[in-house]
Amino acid sequence: MLFMTSEHLPAQKISVSAGIYDFMDNTTREFYLLSPVLLIGCDVWNKNLMSLNVSTGLSFNSIKYNNHHHFLYMVPINGAFFYEMINPGAKVWPVIGMGISLMGKADKNKDFDKTHYSATYGYHATGEIRISMSPELLFKFALTYNGLMPSVPEEVDLKGMIVTMGVVF
């Protein structure tokens, strides 16, 4: 039915950004410090100044603890509604958004044969500043609070702040 409508559908925005994942839990922060993160997102629905964005990516960290190498791989999957607070003709404007977060995690200790896999869920709230570089290209700076809830108390608490910079085209 979507293909039969005569209404013109606007092009979807794709974003690529890189930054840092900063853990908020003191125990997790002491162990894993900061993790680099790469995110790729796409607006799957646009209506006026509202959009539904789906993004995924990868965050990786390694640490040596008690002569054992620990590797932490995190794969976030986020769905968020965004609202652009743009004025006509503006070159810089804020964007706010919030939604649900899913995080897959692989915690690997190189000296042991076992890799611990788990998943957690939660919510996130995002604030962005977008700067128009051209009609088709935007620069963005984003700050996201990722409120993930560990599935069991013994699990690593992955809630944290994600600071990224990237482009939207």
Give the residue extent of every domain in the chain.
14-168
Sign of CA dihedral 48, 168, 144, 43: positive
- The reported pLDDT for the residue numbered 111 is 67
- The reported pLDDT for the residue numbered 33 is 83
- The reported pLDDT for the residue numbered 11 is 60
pLDDT per 10-residue tile (average), the chain, 169 residues: 47 92 86 91 93 96 80 94 92 97 87 81 97 94 94 82 96
Measured CA distances, 94 to 5, 49, 129, 130 (Å) = 33, 12, 5, 6
Task: Tell me the three state secondary structure of residue 61.
Answer: strand
- The reported pLDDT for the residue numbered 155 is 78
For 82, other C-beta atoms within 10 Å of its C-beta total 20
Looking at residue 46, the DSSP 8-state letter turns out to be: E
H helical segments located in 72-115? none
Cα-Cα end-to-end distance for the chain: 27
Classify strands 68-84 and 14-23 as parallel, antiparallel or unpaired.
unpaired
Sign of CA dihedral 154, 110, 59, 34: positive
Residue with tokens 């692989």, as numbered in its chain:
106
Tokens in use for 55? Answer: 């993004």
For 117, other C-beta atoms within 10 Å of its C-beta total 11
Task: Give 14-168's CATH code, choosing from 3.90.105.10, 3.40.50.300, 1.10.10.10, 2.40.160.20.
Answer: 2.40.160.20
- The reported pLDDT for the residue numbered 120 is 92
CA–CA separation, 71 vs 77, rounded Å? 20
- The reported pLDDT for the residue numbered 5 is 45
